[in-house]
Amino acid sequence: MNRKVWLKRAAVTSVALTMVVPALAACSSGEKSNSNEKHVLRIGTLYGGKDQESYFRQQYTDMFEFSHPNIELEIVPAINQDDQRYQTYDPNEPQKEQPDPYLEYKKLLTGQNPVDVVIIDYNQLKRMIQDNLLQQLDPLIKQDKFDLTDYVPTVIDGIKQVGDNSLFALSPTFGSSALFYNKKLFQEAGVTPPTDNMFWPDVIDLASRVAKGEGKDRKYGFMFNRWPGSNGVWDVQNYASALQLKMWDDKGEKMLVNNSSWEGAMNTVAKLYKDDITPDQDDINKVNESKNNSNGGYNPLDNDWFMSGRTAMVIAEYNYVNELNMANASADKIKDYKPIEWDVVTVPQFQEAAGIGGNMYLSQLMGINAQAQNADDAWEFIKFSNSRELAKLKSRSQYELTARKEFLKPADGSTNFNIAAFYSLKPIPPTSTDADALYRTKPGIWEAQNPGNDLFTEVVKGTKTAKEALAEWETKGNEILSKLETKKKDGDDTTIEVKSDEEKLKEASGEADAEAMDAVEVNVGG
């Protein structure tokens, strides 16, 4: 960047900070923070490293540190990725066992110099609450009269549902998905567009009615995500995520796909493919072949079937709003592209899980370590990060939503749309204390999913029923899981076990015992 331009931008940023920081400081008061004595506030993160710390500070801590000059912030990652950067791979050497992320994080909270603030995601929150690692925030919120009335209800409810109706963390932002729809395609088909709070059968009915045409010119009704031709079992997973079906048991020893719930999900998704309501790989090949024959050149929207007008509805995350707005604003630069009239509604729900969905994720949850040495400043940091004033700044993000409703509105100059669709449904609650444990301790377990992909294709072609396919998948998957139980290492058979954190800690200190292993749940969405 040109030095003069950089200096000019730096000066503008400095002025902006000078103007906004007093307001931010005013919203976060406390006797300890206002003293002249220097304090150290240690903030724990799951991953980090020297090259990532500057970005982390820009996102989370720079404003706080600027307005609280008496507080020195230390960023402490549980897993330092710098240590792994230059590791070499030798296929003839045993591979180094990867650290357990949760166990490493737990050490930050329980060691001799514990961190004060923890920044975690939604799945980690449940485990930390169960392990009594976090302070409850409700008494502090009440004591300081910290106003949460403007918070998105589903964000608060989502946090409370893993804390026995109590708050152990707050999140200034969140991410979510919604059902995008093309107004023009519905109008041309004479079909009423979708509305909020619809159930899957109703959305599928709309999709079947709006789908029209043949071959390369067909307009499809619905896609589970923005990328056509995705793996069929992956679409089944997306469809059934709110039902929290499991592919295998907690120990990764037995397949759990051969049941009526899986059968219903597979039949529903396969029918969408069979009826050409959702495009499959054959449909994609037809369109690609047509483009190749026409020598039409490159079009940046060819692989986006919603933007290119080939599908009427698609489930996508909030950042898709920005992409649609940019494409519409650049319509004159894109060959044969006409701006899309679009809107969003809540993602389809299941009757069995009404009010839940949207793939809402909370990845910036902030809590206080139960063993924090500087709990006062930790609470000041959480209040500051979740303040109304900072929410106003965060609302400019094109990729995530602020948790305060006051600032949840389309950006200036963008399309006016139903933004409430992104925060009207509760997040899917975590069903596991460690959903990633099996992928870490049994890195080949994903192979047990592979037979399902081919068998799903047979269901679509009609050569097998879903019931038959699931029974065969169960058999083939169990064979793979059985082989994974024993792994050859240096000529010896080594049994791979999924052990609890307590066992691992005791083994590390020479006090391992024979307590039962913790169960690890793997849901369809994960």
338 occurs within a structural domain: no
Beta 39-48 vs 71-80: how paired, if at all?
parallel
Label residue 248 by pLDDT band (50, 70, 90): very high
CB burial of residue 209 (10 Å; 0-12, 13-18, 19+):
middle
User: In terms of pLDDT, which residue wins out, 441 or 411?
Assistant: 441
Residue 296: pLDDT band with limits 50, 70, 90:
low
The residue range of the domain holding 401 is 17-176+360-422
Q: Would you say residue 320 lies in a domain?
A: no
Angle between helices 232-240 and 450-461 (to 10 degrees): 90
Does any domain span residue 375? Answer: yes
Q: Identify the three-state secondary structure at position 404.
A: strand
Whether the model clears a pTM of 0.85, i.e. scores above it, the answer is no
Q: Is the pLDDT of residue 19 over 50?
A: no
Q: Quick check: is 367 in a domain? A: yes
How open is the CA angle 85-86-87, to the nearest 5 degrees?
Answer: 100
Burial class (CB in 10 A: 0-12, 13-18, 19+), 136: middle
Determine what percent of the chain is predicted with pLDDT higher than 70: 79
pLDDT level of residue 501 (50, 70, 90 thresholds): very low
Q: What is the pLDDT of residue 286?
A: 83
Inter-residue contact 317 to 176 (CB < 8 Å): yes
pLDDT tens digit sequence for 32-82: 445 578 889 999 999 888 878 888 898 889 999 999 999 999 999 998 877
**Nearest-10 crossing angle of helices 232-240, 260-274:** 120
pLDDT per residue as tens digits for the range 462-477: 999 999 999 999 999 9
Please check the confidence at residue 519 and state whether its pLDDT lies above 80.
Answer: no
Sign of CA dihedral 115, 116, 122, 127: positive
Q: How far apart are CA 4 and CA 514, in angstroms?
A: 67
What is the average per-residue pLDDT within 106-129? 93
Residue 228 · residue 301 · CB < 8 Å? no
**What are phi and psi for residue 175, nearest 5 degrees?**
-120, 160
* Total residues belonging to the chain: 526
As a whole number, mean pLDDT of residues 291-300 equals 67
What's the confidence (pLDDT) of residue 28?
47
506 has a pLDDT exceeding 50:
no
The strand order across the sheet containing 39-48 reads 71-80, 39-48, 117-120, 365-368
Domain membership of residue 401 (yes or no) is yes
Q: Per the domain annotation, does 86 fall within a domain?
A: yes
CB 352 within 8 A of CB 428: no
In the block, residue with structure tokens 């009010």: 355
CATH code for position 136: 3.40.190.10
Question: Judging by beta carbons within 10 Å of its beta carbon (0-12, 13-18, 19+), is residue 137 exposed, middle or buried?
Answer: buried
132-181 tens-digit pLDDT: 999 999 999 999 999 999 999 989 999 998 999 999 999 999 999 999 99
* CA separation for the pair 386, 403 (Å, rounded): 8
Residue 50 belongs to some domain of the structure: yes
386-397 residue pLDDT tens: 999 999 988 888
User: Taking Cα atoms as reference points, which of 203, 408, 266 lies closest to residue 257?
Assistant: 266
Domain count, the chain: 1
The answer to whether position 106 is within a domain reads yes
Of residues 170 and 358, more confidently modeled = 170
Q: Which two three-digit tokens encode residue 137?
A: 């925030």
- Residue whose C-alpha is closest to residue 44's, from 474, 444, 367, 482: 367
Share the mean pLDDT of the chain: 82
What secondary structure letter does DSSP report for 338? -
> CA 323 from chain center: how many Å?
19
